[in-house]
Amino acid sequence: MPSTAAAPEPDSAAKPRLRLEIERSYNGQGSPWWVTVVSVMLALVFCGIFIAANGMNPVTVYAKMIGGAFGSSFGMTETLVKAIPLLLCGLGVAFAYRISIWNIGAEGQFVIGAMAATAVTVYWPSLPSYAAIPLMIVLSIAAGGIWGLLTAIPRTHFQVNELITSLMLNYVALLALDYVVFGPWKDPKGFNFPGTPMFTEAQSLPLFGDSRLHLGLAFAAVAVIVYAVVINYTKWGYELRLIGANKEAARNAGIGIKKQIIIVMLISGGMAGLAGMSEVSGVTHRLMYGISPGYGYTAIIVAWLARLNPVGLVISSVLFAALIVGGYSVQTIGLPSSISEMIQGAMLFFLIAGATISKIRIRRKG
C-alpha cells in the first residue's frame, strides 16, 4: 500500500509577518491637526491631576488663568506684550527647523540682541530717537545673527552638532550679560542693583496708548508676514522646504545645503536678537540681570505647537503668553506662578509623544 507523504510545512520565511515602522519627520508638520489638539488637552489633564493633588480644583485654576490673561484690557495687553518676544523668537526657531537645523540657542541670541541694543544707550546716550531706535534695531539683528553663525559655521565646516553649540552659547551669552550689568555698564546710581541706567524716552520704543504695549508688536507682525510669504510663495522658500523634507534630493537638485544653513541661522539669530531689543527698549527700559524669563526656550515649544505654520505661530505665541500672564494670576489663590512652566513642559512632552505615535505604521512583511 503506497505511503502518503505528509505535506511539507510551509517555509517560515514565506509566512506574513507584521512589523512596526516609524516614519521619520523633522517636526510635527506631517501629523494630523487633531494630534496637536489632543496633545494639548492631555497636557492640561495631566497637569490638572497635580493641581488636584495640591488640593485645588483644576477647573477653577484654569478659569483663573484665562481670566487673568483675557478677562480685562490690562490682561489682554500684557498677554500681547509677552507674545511679542515669543513670536519673534518662535519665528527664528521655525526658520531653522524648516531645514532640520535644531537651533535651541534663541535664548542666548535674545540676550545678545538686548546687549547690542543697550550698547547704543551706553556709548551714544545723546542720539535722537530717529537715529537711536533704528541703530538699536540694526545692531540687535546683527548681533543675534552673528551669534547664530557661531552655531552654523561649526555645523557646516566641522560637522559639530548644533544642539551642543547652540545650547552652550546660551550660557556664554548669560555670562556676558552678568559681566556687563555687574561691571562696566552698571548704573552708579542704581543702589547696587545689577542693571544699566534707565533708557531715555528717545531710546525707548513708542507705546500704544496708556498700556505697556509697544512698537515691537509691529515688528512681530511684519516678521510673521514676511515669513509666510517667503516660505509659501518664493523659490527660496520652496528650497528650504525641500531641504527639510529630503536633504539628499535637495543636494541632487543643486541646492547648496551649507550655504542655506548659514543664511537660515543668520536670520534665525537675527529674529531672536530683535526680540531682545524689543524687550529691553519696549518693556524693561534697561538691561538687567535675568531680563529673559526663558523666552528663547519657550519659543521651541511655540514652534512645535504651531507646526511651523505662520498663523499657528501667532496663535501658539499668544497661548503661551497667556500661560505666563495667567501664572501670575493664580498666585492670588495660593498657587505659584511656576504652574505655567509645568504646563509648558507637559505640552512639549505630549506634543513630541503625539507626533511620534502618529508616525507609527504597522506593515506586513513577507
Q: Give the chain's mean pLDDT.
A: 90
Q: Calculate ∠ Cα 143-147-149, nearest 5°.
A: 115
Q: Which residue has the cell 511655540?
A: 302
Per-residue pLDDT tens over the stretch 138-156: 999 999 999 999 999 999 9
Per-residue pLDDT tens over the stretch 68-120: 999 999 999 999 999 999 999 999 999 999 999 999 999 999 999 999 999 99
Pairing of the two strands 360-365 and 17-22: antiparallel
- Counting beta carbons within 10 angstroms of the beta carbon of residue 234, is it exposed (0 to 12), middle (13 to 18) or buried (19 or more)? exposed
Longest dimension (CA), the chain: 116
Please state the pTM of the whole predicted model: 0.90
Per-residue pLDDT tens over the stretch 232-288: 999 999 999 999 989 999 999 999 999 999 999 999 999 999 999 999 999 999 999
Domains of the chain in start order, with CATH, are: 24-358 (1.10.3470)
